[in-house]
Amino acid sequence: MTILPGSTLGVLGGGQLGRMFAQAAQTLGYRVHVYEPQAECPAGAVANREFNALYADAAALQEFARGCDVVTYEFENIPAAPLEQIGSLTRLYPRPGVLEICQNRLREKTWLRREGFPHVPFAEVTADGDLAAAVRRIGCPCVIKTADFGYDGKGQQKVTDEAALERAVAQFAGQHVVVERFVDFRCELSVVVARSAAGESRAFPVAENIHTNHILDFSIVPARVNEAIRREAEELGRAIVERLDVVGLLAIELFLAADGRLLVNELAPRPHNSGHYTLDACVTSQFEQHVRAVCGLPLGSAALESPVVMVNILGDAWQWSEGKVVAAPDWAALLADPKTKLHLYGKKEPRRGRKMGHFTVRDADVAVALERARTLKAALLAPATRA
């Protein structure tokens, strides 16, 4: 079943991922409706229609779903009931069962273990369970993570010794958590894979990701690992997408452990921050590929046209004084660079740690692109450069 250009695509969630999805869909001639509880969201600003209502608002959901030929989502924290309702009224991809697994760490890890995919050893601790015993079983250092939704390091605590364990026991008291071995990794990688309803799948080139304070800072493509590892990551990604029966996109975050093994850290059934580089450096972007996949169009080429480095721009890049923004970053150097593209998400209010935009730097030599990216980022953050 092909959903042809001119049809209406719905997206649950109105953040930057929904915005870039909507822009890609509109480039292919689709109309886009966005459902997002908060008004004036980044995706709503570019959508053909914006629904601002709660996920518990069955009447609004019904009107939204009835107006869409297919619905997808741009974030994972969507309750089951609205998905069920939408699924009964129109097509919904990736199927809700995929989201159910990916929106809960414990379910995700249990699924990886059951299906035999390489993952970080973990132990489950129920709300009334013995956290200290689980930490001793897994061994220190380890990381405690809430079983339920968490992102960008939220709800996580590293435990390195008895004192930290004591603090963690108090902090996570009464919570359902996962205790995970701390991985001594060489680097973090990710691969975004698209799969169509016809079963065709395509992986984007593997990205190497550098996080700062648990938030993605730089994505480097191609990842600076050998070809065999890149191929292994892509094959692993494709195998997971097949096994999960995904229609749409799935991002797979991986650790390359010190012993050379790839371990799956997280799955996200949607476009991913580490795939933003595809907008400027691939024949088809992850957003266009997502549109193609959920509409049953042939998938586009995921080939890399140039090595590239993507840098996130957080609200921290604004000039702050006593908790208030006093000046926007100076975009001049970014805008003047012939190999750089700036993407801003139209968010009105910068906040520390909030993703406001990103930029990409291309160069035939990825080391040169990384160096340039670091220089441009430093210039953005340096108040001295501001007029």
Q: Which residues bind ligand AMP (CB under 6 A)?
A: 120, 143, 150-151, 153, 180, 182-183, 188, 211, 214, 253, 265-266
Q: How far is the CB of 101 from ligand AMP (least distance, A)?
A: 15
Q: How far is the CB of 27 from ligand AMP (least distance, A)?
A: 31
Q: Concatenated DSSP letters for 211-236?
A: EETTEEEEEEES-SS-HHHHHHHHHH
Q: How far is the CB of 211 from ligand AMP (least distance, A)?
A: 4
Output 32 or 99, the one with its CB closest to ligand AMP.
99
Q: How far is the CB of 156 from ligand AMP (least distance, A)?
A: 6
Give the total residue count for the chain. Answer: 387
Angle at 76 between CA 75 and CA 79, to 5 degrees: 120
CB atoms near residue 365 (< 10 Å):
9
Q: How far is the CB of 359 from ligand AMP (least distance, A)?
A: 21
Output 188 or 288, the one with its CB closest to ligand AMP.
188
CB atoms near residue 199 (< 10 Å):
9
Output 160 or 385, the one with its CB closest to ligand AMP.
160
Tokens read off for 39: 């008004």
Q: How far is the CB of 353 from ligand AMP (least distance, A)?
A: 13
Tokens read off for 375: 């220089």
CA distance 365 to 75: 34
Nearest residue to ligand AMP, scored by beta-carbon proximity: 183
Output 48 or 156, the one with its CB closest to ligand AMP.
156
Q: How far is the CB of 155 from ligand AMP (least distance, A)?
A: 8
Q: Concatenated DSSP letters for 304-327?
A: BSS-EEEEEEEGGGSEEETTEEEE
Output 176 or 372, the one with its CB closest to ligand AMP.
176
Distance set, CA 259 to CA 184, 209, 229, 256 (Å): 9, 19, 12, 8
Tokens read off for 362: 């291309």
Output 180 or 316, the one with its CB closest to ligand AMP.
180
Q: How far is the CB of 158 from ligand AMP (least distance, A)?
A: 8
Output 113 or 211, the one with its CB closest to ligand AMP.
211
Output 45 or 187, the one with its CB closest to ligand AMP.
187
Query: CB under 8 Å, gap of 24 or more: what pairs does 121-124 form?
Result: 121/180, 121/181, 122/178, 122/179, 122/180, 122/181, 123/178, 123/179, 124/176, 124/177, 124/178
Neighbouring-strand partners of residue 314:
355
Please give the backbone phi and psi of residue 252, each rounded to the nearest 5 degrees, phi first. Answer: -120, 120
Please give the backbone phi and psi of residue 186, each rounded to the nearest 5 degrees, phi first. Answer: -75, -45
